[in-house]
Amino acid sequence: MTAEPKFRINQADDVLLVVDLQNDFMPGGALAVAHGDEVVPLANRLARLFTHVVLTQDWHPRAHISFAENHAGRKPFEFITLPYGEQVLWPVHCVQQTPGAAFHRDVDIPHARAVIRKGHHQHVDSYSAFVEADHTTPTGLTGYLRDTGVKRVWCCGLATDFCVAWSSLDACAAGFDVAVIEDATRAIDLNGSLDAAWREMNAAGVRRVRAADLLG
């Protein structure tokens, strides 16, 4: 017997934000997130509960500032300081129009209404689907969600401690009620980044829920 879900989706107010289910973040990918592929079937099931689903796609130019290869003498996972703050240097990943940037082949969310591509400015990274890492440049997602009547944002996808965390924090800051569906995310966990991300999300009032709370 399945339990009654703890939360009911309200189709007028709720959106599911499915973050970065792209090949490069999957096992074997350029910036693999351990067990990232396990999130895909769960995201598909969750998406069926919602009429309003938005996907995000990390979408970098080859010369992107977040790639270690574009900084002489630097290696992936080192930090550098940029005009907008600290930046992790990553392996080349999610380059526009490459197979690594494509959605995992099992992503099955045909009713997704929008795909937000982020990180497309060469000199600014964007973990968040709402505001780029300069904390200034909007992607347009806030306006899109407000204009379509969204009040509550449910987040899942990759990675918990980067794009999911930054997106949910910005969604909170924009005034949405926000929940992260923890078991429908997986983390990179770089130097304690997962604990730090949950501390920040808790402090901001992001709800931490399980897929079963919605699916029953």
Contact positions vs Zn ion (CB under 5 A): 58, 119
Measured from the CB atom, is 127 or 176 closer to ligand VGL? 127
Query: In whole angstroms, how close is the CB of 6 to ligand VGL at the nearest point?
Result: 27
Per DSSP bridges, beta strands 79-82 and 85-88 are antiparallel
Report, as residue numbers or ranges, the catalytic residues. Answer: 20, 118, 163
From the list 24, 191, 1, the residue with the least C-alpha distance to 102 is 24
Rounded distance between C-alpha atoms, residue 115 and residue 177, angstroms: 21
What do you get for the CA distance between the two ends of the chain, in Å? 10
Which of the listed partners (ligand VGL, Zn ion, none) does 20 bind, with a CB threshold of 5 to 8 Å by partner kind?
ligand VGL
Nearer to ligand VGL, 9 or 60 (CB): 60
Contact at 8 Å (CB) between 211 and 183?
A: yes
Shortest spacing between CB 191 and ligand VGL, in angstroms: 14
DSSP string, 93-112: --BTTSGGGSBPTT---TT-
3-class DSSP assignment, residue 2: coil
Q: Which does 162 bind (CB under 5 to 8 A by kind): ligand VGL, Zn ion, none?
A: ligand VGL
Please identify, using beta-carbon distances, which residue of 162 and 198 lies nearer to Zn ion. Answer: 162
- Would you tell me which residues interact with ligand VGL (CB under 6 A)? 20, 25, 58, 90, 127, 158-159, 162-163
Question: 29 contacts which partner out of Zn ion, ligand VGL, none, CB within 5 to 8 A by kind?
Answer: none
Cα distance between residue 50 and residue 53, in whole Å: 6
CB of residue 163 to ligand VGL, shortest distance in Å: 3
